[in-house]
Structure 1
């Protein structure tokens, strides 16, 4: 058992971040090996736009559960690469609508088979081990619980008796 495994929940976030960084680096290596100039961090926007003609930056922000400034920054990056374009909404002049450029649609065509291959390969990996099969349901359960579980409050409640003992 390594240090991270032995520390349990104390390093839970660090382990998730390390696993995420490792996974995303591997995904980026797949795109690189295929000669496709695509970054895994663009996936949520590309996926959502592949299912919609256009979306507002606010809609992208809400659906990807990132802040509006973070979504806006990603859209600016993709716009600078000529992969998406933004226009003012016809309904509301304050809303910026995002859609693929021709270059973005061409890139989407290249990456769709990669997504299918990644999904199939990850399904094979999950089938290889019962514990791995449970990872996505476990992550979903943790995400859902964190929406309502006040961890900081629970920890504070546990620390109060300890603080009172010192007084």
Structure 2
């Protein structure tokens, strides 16, 4: 890749995604050829959906399910038909539409392809994990965000100087942690902090960072909108704690951003589990935790359970 493209940074994001995509397609075609299989990598999504569908599919249904444009789907279907892998018939109730199914040749090829796809998937995992161990979740978040908030619409409202960034702890951020955590926690505990809180609230660097953990801050310019601590429990497990959001900044997805950073950092450190402890007074937070994949569990022996804790949850980080 030329230096000019690299230096463009985020502006060349689509170009670099396409470059990676084309390399994967080219290598995929080579793998099929080396295994004496007459198949193209660009056919995979359409072919797989048809092969695993219980009923015939239309171009519209394939487009909606895969997320490709109609013209892309039509081109792939045309190539599959040319190679005798699909059958196209007039829709029984809508003459403007057509039903698409795998042919007998396509079904036989599907059985052959599955033997190649398993090692292919393992190889792709090793490749993508070299970029980041949480790569698939990162891609999922990008995909969902683009679908929910298209870039052309986002450009109309975004204030580039006021984007929310999740940053790691540094000494100048210490007061943000205290100012966010202490008032809320004191209110919950009627002004009396537990022994662990008395130390962690005022010394997040010593309590978390110096013990192999992390503290993150959601910053909008110089304003701190939220914070969370990632406490190391042992070599392979972490606990996220002290997740607090500025009341005026709720409903902005900040808690989600902070939890996602905790999960990514755990995976970067090859952790196997991420724990949390909470109270029953936070049902909305519980919904968010379940959405991420946390499940209820008894506390592990390495966790210091707080007196106020009424619920223990864990996320398995092993794919």
TM-score range, shorter chain: 0.7 to 0.9
1:26 is matched with: 27
Of structures 1 and 2, the one with the larger relative CO (CA 8 A, separation 6+) is: 1
Matches within 5 A, 1:27-42: 27-42=28-43
- Aligned residues, how many? 157
Root-mean-square deviation (CA, aligned residues, Å) is: 2.4
2:17 is matched with: 16
Select the structure that is richer in helix: 1
Compared CA separation, residues 96 and 16, structure 1 to 2 (3 A): same
User: What are the Cα deviations for residues 88-124 of structure 1, in whole angstroms up to 9, with x where unaligned?
Assistant: 2223333211111111112212111111111122234
Matches within 5 A, 1:56-95: 56-95=58-97
1:138 is matched with: 138
**What TM-score comes out, normalization by structure 2 length?**
0.45
Partners of 2:158 and 2:53 lie apart in 1 by 47
Secondary structure of 2:101's match?
strand
Partners of 2:144 and 2:65 lie apart in 1 by 15
1:109 is matched with: 111
In structure 1, list runs of 5 or more residues that go unmatched: 160-167
In structure 2, list runs of 5 or more residues that go unmatched: 160-319
1:165 is matched with: none
CA deviation after TM superposition for structure 1 residue 76, in Å: 1.6
